[in-house]
């Protein structure tokens, strides 16, 4: 798929950058000076432009806000120790977004449109990428239907946009999670593998209930048997039992996480035993009881590695090994940071230089 669209650029007259301490901002609250937008109509991508960050001109009948034809991505740009800016595995986000677009009956985004829009935007707003140790620029590409019409049908018009927000640490502390047995995130044949808005909307109420009980996140189970772990919040989940790294195999109910892939690639390179398969609650609880459960953690773009120090299940709390003893996930966290900061060789060619 090709796209030869020229990107028209209108720069902001006054940067907002000096209004913020970008090394110390809450996650997802402030946005950079510019945004990228592309418009789809008449069966093709027709326009692409970068303009000062602003609002969506929209009708109250805009189809995506009624019927949820909307998907998004989450990725990051990092500043290395020499001041260079690079993206982490952006083509993986592009590919995943297009798989989602197909499932949600939306137009795919040509690689050039995605990559050129992304590169131009981040180049323009490069000063917004925090240089701090745990800082990054969180980038949100998203695609949504824009027909002005009531009635459930595939929209004829869409917008693809990219906005960006400086970010620090996602979780300031290790987290406690609740194994959820009444509500489910995704079902077989559904859209669990897609970053579709509705997946997140349906998770909010169960997450609120879990938070009221003192947990930060939910650890979802499969909806068919209620026995196997799926994922947690906006993270895939991993376990170290004995000397084996285990994670639920991806399926149509689990997001194919890019951090997950990266962690597994490093584990394999380090010669660790890696198992991608169904992981049952029973086997993890048994490992906990016999002392072989060494580490439990979430992996995702926003948090990178989120250490899980407690699991609630069937009314009981299970305390997990201290974070300081977790050799594998601590080494992964440090290695990913070193690759992003340009301190060690990027053997897998994960970083894509912007400027
Ligand atoms: C539901 C869900 N699972 C897992 C992840 C982790 O995926 P990634 O590592 O690509 O950010 C995310 C975040 O994108 C997510 O929203």
CATH of the domain at 221: 3.20.10.10
Which atom of ligand 1 lies closest to the CA of 261? 9
pLDDT at 3: 58
pLDDT at 254: 98
Do 205 and 263 have their domain in common? yes
Do 148 and 225 have their domain in common? no
Please answer whether residues 70 and 56 qualify as being in contact, where contact means their C-beta atoms are separated by less than 8 angstroms.
no
Q: How far is the CA of 19 from the centre of ligand 1 (A)?
A: 31
Using the 3D structure, point to which of 167, 184, 210 is the last residue of a domain: 167
pLDDT at 48: 98
pLDDT at 29: 94
Beta bridge partners of 165: 138
pLDDT at 348: 98
Residues 69-106 as b or e (16 or more Cβ within 10 Å = b): bbbbbbbbbbbbeeebbbbbbbebbbebbbebbeebeb
Do 122 and 234 have their domain in common? no
Q: Which mutation among 70, 73, 74 tests ligand 1's pocket best, with the greatest number of atoms within 8 A of CB?
A: 74
Assign 266 to helix, strand or coil. helix
Q: How far is the CA of 95 from the centre of ligand 1 (A)?
A: 14
Task: Look up the pTM and report it.
Answer: 0.97
Do 181 and 295 have their domain in common? yes
Q: How far is the CA of 263 from the centre of ligand 1 (A)?
A: 13
Beta bridge partners of 274: 245
Residue 351 counted as domain residue: no
Instruction: Identify the domain containing residue 330 by its residue range.
Output: 175-340
Do 144 and 184 have their domain in common? no
Number of domains in the chain: 2
* CATH at residue 139: 3.30.470.10
Residues 275-293 as b or e (16 or more Cβ within 10 Å = b): eeebbbbebbbebbeeeeb
- Which residues line ligand 1 at a C-beta cut-off of 6 Å? 74, 195, 231, 234-236, 255, 257-260, 300-301
Averaged pLDDT in 10-residue chunks for the chain of 355 residues: 80 96 92 98 98 96 98 98 96 98 98 98 98 96 98 98 94 95 98 98 98 98 98 97 98 98 98 98 98 98 96 98 98 97 97 98
Using the 3D structure, point to which of 111, 143, 167 is the last residue of a domain: 167
Using the 3D structure, point to which of 167, 198, 231 is the last residue of a domain: 167
pLDDT at 172: 83
Q: Which mutation among 300, 302, 305, 332 tests ligand 1's pocket best, with the greatest number of atoms within 8 A of CB?
A: 300
Residue 111 counted as domain residue: yes
Do 204 and 301 have their domain in common? yes
Residue 60 counted as domain residue: yes
Cα separation, 136 vs 128, whole angstroms: 9
Do 151 and 185 have their domain in common? no
Which atom of ligand 1 lies closest to the CA of 231? 3
């Amino acid at each position: 798929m090709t796209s030869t669209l020229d990107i028209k650029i209108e720069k902001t007259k006054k940067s907002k950058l000096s209004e913020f301490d970008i090394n110390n901002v809450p996650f997802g609250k402030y946005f950079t000076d510019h945004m990228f937008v592309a418009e789809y109509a008449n069966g093709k991508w027709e326009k692409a432009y970068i303009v000062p960050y602003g609002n969506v001109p929209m009708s109250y009948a805009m189809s995506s806000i009624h019927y949820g034809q909307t998907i998004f991505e989450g990725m990051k740009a990092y500043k290395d120790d020499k001041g260079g800016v690079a993206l982490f595995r952006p083509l993986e986000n592009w590919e995943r977004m297009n798989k989602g677009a197909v499932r949600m009956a939306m137009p795919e985004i040509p690689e050039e449109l995605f990559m050129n829009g992304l590169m131009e935007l981040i180049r323009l707003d490069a000063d917004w990428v925090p240089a701090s140790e745990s800082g990054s620029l969180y980038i949100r590409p998203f695609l949504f239907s824009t027909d002005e019409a009531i009635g459930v049908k595939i929209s004829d018009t869409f917008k693809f946009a990219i906005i960006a927000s400086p970010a620090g640490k996602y979780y300031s502390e290790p987290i406690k999670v609740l194994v959820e047995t009444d509500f489910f995130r995704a079902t077989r044949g559904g859209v669990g593998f897609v970053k579709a808005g509705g997946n997140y909307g349906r998770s909010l109420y169960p997450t609120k209930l879990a938070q009221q009980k003192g947990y930060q996140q939910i650890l979802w189970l499969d909806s068919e048997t209620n026995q196997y772990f799926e994922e947690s919040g906006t993270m895939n989940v991993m376990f170290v039992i004995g000397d084996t790294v285990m994670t639920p195999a991806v399926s149509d109910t689990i997001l194919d996480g890019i951090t997950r892939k990266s962690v597994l690639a490093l584990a394999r390179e380090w010669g660790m035993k890696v198992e991608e398969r169904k992981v049952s609650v029973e086997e993890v609880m048994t490992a906990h009881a016999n002392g072989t459960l060494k580490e439990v953690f979430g992996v995702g773009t926003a948090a990178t590695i989120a250490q899980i120090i407690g699991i609630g299940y069937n009314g009981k709390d299970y305390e997990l090994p201290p974070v300081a003893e977790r050799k594998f996930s601590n080494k992964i966290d440090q290695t990913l940071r070193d690759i992003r900061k340009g301190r060690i060789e990027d053997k897998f060619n994960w970083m894509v230089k912007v400027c």
